[in-house]
Amino acid sequence: MGMNKSLRIWAVLAVWTWSAAVQATGLTALEQRWIAGMSPVIQRARATGLPLDIVVQPQDAPDAAPLALGYLQGRCKLVLSLRGNPEGQATLDRIPSALTDSALELMAAHELGHCRRYLDGVWYGLPAGFSADRPPVGLSPELERAYLSMKSTRREEGYGDLVALAWTLQRHPDQYAALHAWLVEERSRDRLPGSHHDTLAWLALASDPKSLGSAPSMFEAAARLWALGLGDDE
């Protein structure tokens, strides 16, 4: 889910339908493991009509996020970049074994949060009542753009994390505390305060699962708490 890496649109090099993806003989064991773990989220997305494709990058991608979300021509692309990428197995190794499947679901749900924002045409946008960011005085135009991009990405990552936790609350309430703790640990690794993946302010708001409310949609459940975090962050 883009842990400690930036999310951007990836080139679509190999796209399968869901049924073909899980059966394709060309998939590695690690790719099959990730896809199998994410399957409940993928199936839910398909059942609710989200335009979602599974993309497996066939070339080595040692510096890519193992899982990311791309958006191309009105469709969301759930992108796996696991070949030649040690972070793919390292991510699994950092998950307590009893939580592996539900953590993979959490990561996929995070990416669906990004998908929903793209589909709604509000990527990098702010809710009503929030003003646009202002960069610090004295930055060059290039650094101003980088700063604003970083702030916007951080907001989207915060929303994605809350969607992921809302999914967890709905599907694995008994594991919520453990998965929340794991997510906090992941977001704390190599943390640079205020940077793209520093979502700890939003995770703190979601430490009590009751804070997410009882909305039937994981996107709706995340929205109010996300806006509350914007008020603290902006």
Q: How much is the pLDDT for 128?
A: 66
Q: Do 44 and 87 sit in the same domain of this protein?
A: yes
Q: How much is the pLDDT for 129?
A: 65
pLDDT tens, per residue, the chain with 234 residues: 554 333 333 333 333 444 444 445 589 999 999 999 999 999 999 999 999 999 999 999 999 999 999 999 999 999 999 999 999 999 999 999 999 999 999 999 999 999 999 999 999 988 766 766 777 777 787 877 877 778 889 999 999 999 999 999 999 999 999 999 999 999 998 877 777 888 999 999 999 999 999 899 999 999 999 999 886 554
Q: Do 40 and 117 sit in the same domain of this protein?
A: no
Max distance between CA atoms of the chain, in angstroms, equals 55
Q: Do 137 and 84 sit in the same domain of this protein?
A: no
Q: Report which DSSP code applies to 212.
A: G
Q: How much is the pLDDT for 25?
A: 57
Assigned token pair, 93: 């190794």
Classify residue 138 by burial, with Cβ atoms within 10 Å: 0-12, 13-18, 19+.
exposed
74 lies in some domain: yes
52 lies in some domain: yes
Q: Do 153 and 47 sit in the same domain of this protein?
A: no
Q: How much is the pLDDT for 137?
A: 72
Q: How much is the pLDDT for 1?
A: 59
CA distance 136 to 70: 30
CA distance 125 to 127: 7
Q: Which residues contact 66 (CB under 8 A, 6 or more apart)?
A: 3, 34, 80, 81, 82, 85, 87, 88, 91
9 lies in some domain: no
Q: Do 122 and 87 sit in the same domain of this protein?
A: no
Q: Do 150 and 73 sit in the same domain of this protein?
A: no
Q: Do 59 and 144 sit in the same domain of this protein?
A: no
Q: How much is the pLDDT for 141?
A: 75
Q: Do 117 and 228 sit in the same domain of this protein?
A: yes
Q: Do 129 and 87 sit in the same domain of this protein?
A: no
Q: How much is the pLDDT for 232?
A: 57
CA distance 53 to 50: 9
Q: What is the DSSP string of 76-107?
A: EEEEE--TT-HHHHHHHHTS-GGGHHHHHHHH
Q: Residue 104: name the closest of 114, 119, 94, 117 by CA.
A: 94
- How many residues can be counted in the chain? 234
Q: Residue 20: name the closest of 31, 10, 11, 9 by CA.
A: 31
Count structural domains, the chain: 2
Q: Is the pTM of this model over 0.85?
A: yes
Q: Which residues contact 146 (CB under 8 A, 6 or more apart)?
A: none
Q: Do 35 and 136 sit in the same domain of this protein?
A: no
Residue 139: domain span: 113-233
Q: How much is the pLDDT for 47?
A: 95
Q: Residue 6: name the closest of 154, 183, 188 by CA.
A: 154
126 lies in some domain: yes
101 lies in some domain: no
CA distance 84 to 50: 30
